[in-house]
């Protein structure tokens, strides 16, 4: 049979048309992948709504997910973490009710995030073994071994998709688990390449990253690991970007990053899979929106798995009410607001701390009125971590101020603590939650020694509501009226090169030498301070002692008592009583004694302090002399050149005259200059020059003692609460 050229042309056209319609187009070859995504569900089931699923947001979300599942388009359901905590029902069941929820909805995997760990790693491991949902994390470790499965493989059409999970490196472990079991979050730079080696052996078509890292670290991870096809961020990453919230970011090579900024619903992510993963559409469905579409008798409610879960939820709710419905206390008069600021007041009261620090959001703001049940407390506490008590120096306190917007710091006002300026070297007692402590550790780049109270936030609230109800107070100013005590001990062992000059008739001040010398000596001082926000009492015994076999070179025993009225303004009134004598009676049998009484005002300007007062001096023994009335001037300055080198200047002068008619003036002054090299917090080395000067116009003579001291100093400070 012969075929003409026209027939050949017709067959060619027919074949081309057949090939065009029968060959798969790019769109039809790419079946795509639809993924359901949730994040930060927090296990917040309502306590009494199992039989009214339209009123429980989590049950509403569940019905929306069931509806999506019934379309047959959903390939995966992935949760980005913080699913198990802090909902009271989930806490009560140690995450079991939330594990059943995720399993009922066919959740394929969830990223283990910071709040999930609050139910305990041992409970999470049990849920991972017995639940239907895989718990994933590549970098949560115990004794250098992964706590959870690092990745999972899932079918996607004809191909396989790997899901790799990386938890936030800022994740917090319970302090007992961290110390006793050695759990920690390994750097992603270390773990991700190791896990990707295992994933490559399975030869998946695509690898999806579930990331709890910040966006910056997620981008860095993708740039260094190009085997990863895309990333989904959620859980501890809430999509924050330059003060706003982003939903999608695309890298230069086209790989997408999807961020789950919302938690009160679910996302449906529709992806193209060929030749690479590409976002077609990201759809958000809120619980409120889903609830408006639900009708009585909707097929979602009749779903056997959902119906079974509703029965299980009702069981958990019944058990919860049975055990947690006990009345703790009553608040009949009015509604008492309870919030983070009330918690800080309670912490300062309970642990007698000057400063209380919590992470914002530790408590959900709530009103307490009528019968207050244990369940109410559990519902209020959002971050139920242990409470720590520790000391921070004033310098460390300054470092944390304003550094972390998530820290709520109570007890500091205008760089004053209990009404006094923050002193860099002074220690202050701090009570905080573990989460706040962890943030402080990051700021200071060190771990201050702490005392674990082994009491959680909810336990503290429960104890307070049963007894003092401090958390119901509106005014916490009484905390600043509490008296505290500090003890500062300064011991100095020095080599003294002293040059003395004096007139023939003038007597040296008490305890001062009459001739020049070079000798080792002691200079010891103790400051005992009792204070609150208004009143400060300072008692200071001081000893300077040197002697040879036949004479005393320094033999001063001084006691000073100062009262300061703290008006928290530029000027503060004070009263001072000072008594000077000798430690050991002089060989002449004399024991000279000098008394000074003054009242005046003090002021502080940055690194300088000054006092100006009126009063009198009087020798009351060996010899007894008339009153000398006059003006007292005291100045102190400390200038830190470097962290370990400080210059100090101390001036103490009294200008006066005797009360009798025709009396002539006299001057008594002591000026000390010092350079101190700090070897450690307690030990220092100093070079000092101390000049003691006494001038009597009556005798027209003066006394001068110039001392050059090379000293080894020991300084200790204690706070007695």
pLDDT in tens, 281-330: 999 999 999 988 887 655 556 688 888 998 889 888 888 888 887 888 99
Contact yes or no for 688/493 (Cβ under 8 A)? no
CA within 13 Å, CB half, 273: 21
User: For 158, phi and psi rounded to 5 degrees?
Assistant: -85, -10
Residue 688 bridge partners (DSSP): 674, 709
Q: 52 or 59: whose pLDDT is higher?
A: 59
DSSP class of 422: P
Residue owning tokens 């928290």: 568
Q: What is d(CA 387, CA 359) in angstroms, rounded to the nearest whole number?
A: 12
Contact yes or no for 650/686 (Cβ under 8 A)? no
Q: Quick one: what percent of the chain has pLDDT higher than 70?
A: 90
Residue 623 has pLDDT above 90, yes or no: no
Contact yes or no for 428/459 (Cβ under 8 A)? no
Domains and CATH numbers, the chain: 27-320 (3.60.21.10), 326-479 (3.90.780.10), 484-720 (2.40.160.40)
Least confident of 58-62, 357-361, 501-505: 501-505
Q: What is d(CA 42, CA 87) in angstroms, rounded to the nearest whole number?
A: 6
Q: What is d(CA 316, CA 368) in angstroms, rounded to the nearest whole number?
A: 25
Contact yes or no for 92/62 (Cβ under 8 A)? no
Per-residue pLDDT, 178: 76
Per-residue pLDDT, 398: 95
3-state DSSP assignment of residue 56: coil
State the burial class of residue 112 (Cβ atoms within 10 Å of its Cβ: 0-12, 13-18, 19+). buried
Per-residue pLDDT, 547: 72
What does the pLDDT average to over 646-673? 89
| Residues 6+ positions from 179 with CB-CB distance below 8 Å | none
- 370-383 residue pLDDT tens: 999 888 898 899 88
Residue 125 has pLDDT above 80, yes or no: yes
Per-residue pLDDT, 244: 62
Name the helix (H) or strand (E) containing 642: strand 628-642
Per-residue pLDDT, 598: 97
Per-residue pLDDT, 17: 37
- Structure tokens of 385? 């971590």
Band the pLDDT of 583: cuts 50, 70, 90: confident
Q: What is d(CA 300, CA 68) in angstroms, rounded to the nearest whole number?
A: 10
Residue 23 has pLDDT above 60, yes or no: no
> Rounded to a whole number, what is the distance in angstroms from the first to the last CA of the chain?
115
Per-residue pLDDT, 552: 58
Name the helix (H) or strand (E) containing 333: strand 327-338
What does the pLDDT average to over 77-105? 93
Mean of per-residue pLDDT scores for the chain:
88
Contact yes or no for 468/478 (Cβ under 8 A)? no
What does the pLDDT average to over 149-160? 90
* Measured CA angle at 137 (ends 134, 141), to 5 deg: 125
Per-residue pLDDT, 553: 64
Contact yes or no for 307/319 (Cβ under 8 A)? no
State the burial class of residue 132 (Cβ atoms within 10 Å of its Cβ: 0-12, 13-18, 19+). middle
Residue owning tokens 């036949």: 550
- 331-343 residue pLDDT tens: 888 899 999 999 9
3-state DSSP assignment of residue 522: strand
Give the Å distances, CA to CA, from 145 to 118, 126, 181, 195, 225: 20, 17, 12, 12, 22
Residue 7 has pLDDT above 50, yes or no: no
Per-residue pLDDT, 498: 75
Residue owning tokens 């300062």: 348
- 424-441 residue pLDDT tens: 889 999 999 999 999 999
- Structure tokens of 681? 């917090």
Residue 495 has pLDDT above 80, yes or no: yes
What does the pLDDT average to over 240-264? 84
Q: How many residues does the chain have?
A: 721
State the burial class of residue 4 (Cβ atoms within 10 Å of its Cβ: 0-12, 13-18, 19+). exposed
Residue 9 has pLDDT above 90, yes or no: no
Q: Is the dihedral of CA 5, 11, 17, 23 positive or negative?
A: negative
Q: 519 or 279: whose pLDDT is higher?
A: 279
| Closest by CA position to 515, among listed 473, 464, 552 | 552
User: What is the signed CA dihedral for 170, 174, 176, 182, rounded to 10 degrees?
Assistant: -40
State the burial class of residue 713 (Cβ atoms within 10 Å of its Cβ: 0-12, 13-18, 19+). buried
Q: Rounded to the nearest 10 degrees, what angle do helices 57-70 and 96-104 cross at?
A: 30
Beta strand ranges found along 131-205 (DSSP E): 134-136, 140-142, 145-146, 151-156, 159-166, 183-185
- Structure tokens of 336? 């008492």
Per-residue pLDDT, 319: 87
What does the pLDDT average to over 3-20? 39
Residue 255 has pLDDT above 60, yes or no: yes
Q: What is d(CA 703, CA 84) in angstroms, rounded to the nearest whole number?
A: 80
| Residues 6+ positions from 586 with CB-CB distance below 8 Å | 552, 555, 592
Band the pLDDT of 391: cuts 50, 70, 90: very high
Residue 257 has pLDDT above 70, yes or no: yes
Q: What is the pTM assigned to this prediction?
A: 0.75
| Residues 6+ positions from 379 with CB-CB distance below 8 Å | 47, 88, 364, 366
Per-residue pLDDT, 159: 85
Q: What is d(CA 649, CA 483) in angstroms, rounded to the nearest whole number?
A: 30
3-state DSSP assignment of residue 55: helix
What does the pLDDT average to over 183-187? 91
Residue 46 has pLDDT above 50, yes or no: yes
Residue 20 has pLDDT above 70, yes or no: no
Contact yes or no for 690/496 (Cβ under 8 A)? no
Contact yes or no for 652/669 (Cβ under 8 A)? yes
User: For 279, phi and psi rounded to 5 degrees?
Assistant: -75, 120
User: For 325, phi and psi rounded to 5 degrees?
Assistant: -90, 10
3-state DSSP assignment of residue 674: strand
């Amino acid at each position: 049979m012969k075929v003409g050229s026209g027939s050949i042309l017709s067959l060619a056209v027919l074949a081309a048309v057949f090939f065009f319609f029968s060959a798969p187009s790019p769109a039809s070859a790419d079946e795509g992948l639809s993924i359901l995504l949730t994040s930060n569900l927090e296990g917040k089931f309502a306590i009494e709504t199992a039989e009214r699923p339209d009123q429980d947001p989590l049950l509403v979300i569940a019905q929306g997910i069931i509806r999506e599942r019934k379309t047959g388009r959903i390939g995966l359901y992935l949760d980005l973490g913080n699913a198990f905590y802090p909902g009271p029902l989930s806490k009560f069941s140690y995450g079991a009710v939330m594990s059943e929820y995720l399993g009922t909805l066919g959740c394929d995997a969830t990223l283990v995030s910071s709040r999930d760990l609050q139910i305990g790693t041992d409970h999470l491991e049990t849920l991972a073994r017995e639940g239907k949902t895989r718990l994933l994390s590549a970098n949560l470790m115990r004794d250098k071994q992964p706590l959870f499965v690092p990745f999972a493989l899932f079918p996607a059409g004809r191909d396989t998709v790997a899901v790799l999970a990386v938890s936030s490196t800022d994740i917090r472990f319970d302090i007992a688990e961290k110390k006793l079991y050695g759990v920690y979050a390994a750097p992603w730079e270390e773990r991700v390449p190791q896990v990707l080696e295992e994933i490559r052996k399975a030869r998946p078509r695509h690898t999806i990253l579930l990331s709890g890292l910040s966006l910056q670290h997620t981008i860095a991870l993708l740039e260094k690991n190009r085997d990863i096809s895309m990333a989904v961020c959620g859980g501890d990453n809430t999509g924050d970007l330059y003060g706003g919230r982003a939903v999608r970011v695309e890298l230069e090579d086209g790989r997408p990053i999807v961020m789950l900024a919302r938690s009160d619903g679910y996302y449906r992510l529709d992806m193209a899979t060929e030749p690479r993963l590409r976002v077609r559409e990201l759809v958000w469905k809120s619980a409120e929106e889903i609830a408006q579409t639900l009708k009585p008798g909707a097929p979602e409610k009749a779903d056997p798995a959902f119906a079974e879960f509703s029965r299980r939820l009702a069981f958990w709710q019944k058990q919860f009410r049975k055990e947690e419905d006990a009345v703790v206390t009553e608040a009949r008069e009015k509604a008492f607001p309870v919030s983070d600021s009330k918690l800080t007041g309670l912490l300062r009261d309970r642990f007698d701390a000057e400063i209380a620090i919590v992470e914002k959001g530790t408590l959900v703001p709530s009103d307490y009125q009528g019968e207050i049940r244990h369940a109410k407390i559990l519902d209020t506490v959002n971050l139920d971590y242990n409470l720590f008590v520790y000391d921070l120096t004033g310098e460390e306190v300054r470092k944390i101020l304003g550094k972390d917007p998530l820290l709520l710091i109570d007890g500091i006002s205008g760089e004053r603590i209990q009404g006094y300026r923050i002193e860099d070297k002074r220690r202050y007692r701090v009570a905080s939650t573990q989460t706040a402590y962890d943030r402080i550790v990051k700021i200071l780049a060190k771990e201050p020694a702490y005392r674990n109270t082994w009491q959680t936030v909810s336990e503290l609230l429960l104890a307070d509501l049963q007894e003092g109800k401090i958390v119901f107070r509106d005014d916490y100013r009484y905390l600043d009226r509490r008296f505290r005590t500090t003890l500062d001990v300064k011991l100095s062992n020095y080599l003294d090169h002293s040059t003395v000059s004096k007139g023939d008739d003038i007597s040296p001040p008490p305890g001062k030498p009459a001739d020049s010398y070079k000798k080792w000596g002691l200079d010891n001082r103790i400051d005992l301070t009792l204070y609150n926000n208004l009143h400060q009492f300072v008692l200071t015994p001081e000893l300077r002692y040197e002697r040879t076999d036949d004479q005393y070179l320094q033999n001063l025993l001084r006691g000073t008592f100062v009262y300061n009225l703290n008006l928290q303004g530029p000027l503060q009134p004070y009263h001072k009583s000072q008594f000077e004598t000798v430690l050991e009676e002089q060989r002449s049998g004399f024991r000279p004694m000098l008394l000074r009484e003054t009242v005046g005002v003090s002021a502080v300007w940055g690194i300088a302090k000054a006092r100006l007062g009126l009063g009198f001096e009087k020798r009351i023994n060996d010899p007894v002399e008339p009153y000398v009335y006059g003006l007292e001037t005291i100045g102190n300055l400390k200038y830190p050149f470097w962290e370990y080198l400080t210059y100090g200047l101390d001036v103490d002068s009294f200008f006066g005259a005797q009360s009798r008619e025709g009396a002539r003036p006299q001057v008594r002054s002591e000026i000390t200059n010092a350079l101190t090299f700090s070897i450690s917090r307690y030990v220092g080395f100093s070079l000092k020059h101390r000049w003691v000067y006494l001038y009597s116009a009556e005798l027209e003579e003066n006394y001068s003692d110039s001392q050059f001291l090379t000293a080894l100093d020991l300084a200790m400070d204690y706070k007695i609460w």
